[in-house]
Structure 1
Amino acid sequence: MSQPPLQGVISYPVTPFDPDTGDLDLAALDRLTHELVAAGSHAVAPLGSTGESAYLREVEWDAVCETTLQAVGGRVPTLVGVSHWSTEGTVRRARVAARHGATAIMVLPQVYWKLTEDELRQHFATVAGAVDLPVMLYNNPGTSGVDLLPETVVALARGIPNLTMVKESSGDVARFRAIPELSEGTLSVYNGNNPVALEAFRSGAVGWCTAAPCLVPRWCLDLYEAARHDERERADALLAELLPFLRFIVGHGLPRAVKAGREIQRRGLGRPRPPLQPLPDGETRRLRELLARLDAPSAADGAAGPTPNGV
């Protein structure tokens, strides 16, 4: 397998909105992007579901793409989520991402009608053929309603030379071995299900796609390094501390939970965009407790060293 263009902790920024007007806050996005790079993220991935891309007007989508890639400034690779309900819209977004210097693009089958395998193949082939960039297929049955099994993923990738990566968010750890094996090493696999991060690395995932660094970057990077160096005791201790937080942000919706966490940390990024609503008070109190626990000295410190959450 050739060296994949992305690996390690791939950080997903939320999209900030002005707390008064609800408009895009591009200055806050610029600051957040700089924070994620300075914290040690191995790549930055705007405009996924965490970035509320489904709720952006096209002019807003373009502005978020441009602002984020300019803020990264080539310091780390970038992965832009270009998904749209239509093939035409996805192609347009892919070309905008390419024009602004994206390293790679990510495509989720964002559907209303269930697509046939032929329709999925045509969609991915058309998008991939519109740009000269590596393409990541995104399997997220929880948000798309479509679960692409390893055999289907490999079949889709045949005949699409630049479809070389798969973000697997089903939570089925066996797929991190199955996809590279079935594709004879042509597909690299990335974990998009936060709670199984450590199992995924141990099963062959080359990267972790996560919004958690918006709140606790050091913990995420420490876990990756421990997994990469096969420091099993240290990695297990880190995950034990981090797991309640990871389960919480996934279970309560990433845009809601991350934005609530940033408010708790006094680094607010505005409210989610309707129909999403801010995290309710009870859940916000629980998140405050989880973040306080990660800020405090912990059982993981002895094995992992200090794990500051700031950037």
Structure 2
Amino acid sequence: MEYKEFSKKLETINGISLTPFDSNTKEIDWTGVEDNIQYLINKGLKVIVPCGNTSEFYSLSIEEAKEEIKRVVEIVNGRALVVAGIGYSLPMAIELGTYAQEVGADAVMIHQPIHPYITDSGAVSYYKKIINSLDIPSVVYWKDEKLSDDVLKEIAPLEKFVAVKYSINDLPRFAKIVREIPSEHHITWICGTAEKWAPFYFHAGAKGFTSGLVNLYPEKSFEMLHALRNGDEKTTWKVWEETLPFENLRAKYHNGNNVVVIKEAMNLLGLNAGVTREPVDPLDADDKEQVMHLLEKWGLLQSQQA
């Protein structure tokens, strides 16, 4: 595989797919998974990430995560890249990554370890062992502000390390690490905090961004992507203003609303999002009303007063 060429394919919207759960049993609704992946494909998504945080990866058993990766690969059937989320302990991450590789995923996204204790050198070892254990490329999900970006410098020379999903909203810090890692390593920098932060990250060196909004309003996400690529400031900030209230609602309760806001919006639009699993509860009445009003404002949902 030409890893440096692969990295350029991630310079786009990285759509984090939803995992719909049955409202009664909380089991995965596999028909809903297929419906939602087909929707993303039909809307033009070229990078789909199952088992991301917006997929509620943290609530899935290892067997469920494997099954989701396998089914998404089968549904996509080569029409887009599948970047499978993997993580937890080192052996578990390698097990998930190896499985993803075996069933045909194009790459993996390595979640940052959730252990209560972590050191920079330990993180370097963690990432190196996972990346070196696989043949397919790896994306590193960079989220813990307590870790030094020197970790990324240490692993940057690894050929199979192709991208960083950077999710620490410290723009000077991001701009600095982008400029400190030589371009010869062919790392694609991805804004990991969606449309709200994408314009700022792009100005600092990002070439792609993650999105949960694509699960219900991909047209708006693509409008931002094209504006950013074309240097169209007017459209960029128009889209930013239009999507900001939605992203702010997702960020409520220290990002506790991240998934459930998307699911509420999808369900209102007749898409198959299902419910969330614990530890995330349904939205309260006020937040539900805000979601409905946003969809009405966007013209996606007929006003209840009409």
Give the structure 2 partner of residue 309 of structure 1. none
Amino acid at match of 2:237: D
Query: Does the 8 Å CA contact 1:245/1:291 hold for their aligned counterparts?
Result: no
Letter in 2 for 1:193: T
CA contact (8 A) 2:120 2:148 kept: no
Query: What displacement does 1:148 show?
Result: 3.5
2:118 maps to: 115
CA change 1:18–1:9 in 2 (3 A) is same
**1:13-44: CA deviation from partner (whole Å, max 9, x where unpaired):** 11111122211111110110010111121210
Does the 8 A contact of 2:46 with 2:79 survive in 1?
A: no
Q: Within 5 Å, which residues of 2 pair with 1:64-213?
A: 64-84=68-88, 86-141=89-144, 147-158=146-157, 160-185=158-183, 186=185, 187-194=187-194, 195-213=196-214
Is 1:12 paired with 2:16? yes
Spell out, residue by residue over 1:99-154, the C-alpha distance to the aligned partner (whole angstroms, 9 max, x if none).
1211211112222232112211111111111111111111123xxxx543433321
Shift in Å at residue 175 of structure 1? 4.2
Aligned position for 1:255 = 259
Q: Distance in 2 between matches of 1:33 and 1:20?
A: 23
Q: Is the 8 A contact 1:176 1:189 kept in 2?
A: no
Question: In the TM superposition, what whole-angstrom CA distance separates every residue of 1:213-238 from its partner, at most 9, and x where no partner exists?
Answer: 01211000011001101111121212
Measured after TM superposition, the shift of residue 161 of structure 1 is 2.6
Tell me if structure 1 keeps the 8 A contact 2:213–2:221.
yes
Compare 99-108 and 249-258 and name the one that shifted more.
249-258
TM value normalised by structure 2: 0.89
Distance 1:224 1:147, change over 3 A: farther
Which amino acid in 2 is paired with 1:190? Answer: I
Q: Secondary structure at the match of 1:89?
A: helix
Aligned to 1:219: 220
The AA in structure 2 aligned to 1:263 is N
User: How far apart, in 1, do the equivalents of 2:156 and 2:273 lie?
Assistant: 37
Which residue is 1:292 aligned to? 296
For the residue of structure 2 that corresponds to 1:11, the secondary structure is strand
User: For 1:228-307, what aligned pairs fall within 5 Å after superposition?
Assistant: 228-251=229-252, 252-295=256-299
In 2, are the aligned partners of 1:17 and 1:24 still within 8 Å (CA)?
Answer: yes
Q: Which residue of 2 aligns with 1:301?
A: none
Q: Is the 8 A contact 2:86 2:96 kept in 1?
A: yes
Letter in 2 for 1:19: S
Deviates more, 1:258-267 or 1:109-118: 109-118
Q: Whole-Å Cα distance in 1 between the matches of residues 218 and 123 of structure 2? A: 35
Offset from partner CA, 1:269-309 (integer Å, 9 cap, x none): 21111121111111111111112112279xxxxxxxxxxxx
Distance 2:244 2:111 in 1: 26
Paired letter, 2:207: V
Q: Distance in 2 between matches of 1:150 and 1:87?
A: 20
**Aligned residues: percent identity?**
21
1:273 and 1:90 mapped to 2: Cα distance?
22
Aligned position for 2:27: 23
- Structure 2 residue identity aligned to 1:88: P
Q: Is the 8 A contact 1:41 1:221 kept in 2?
A: no
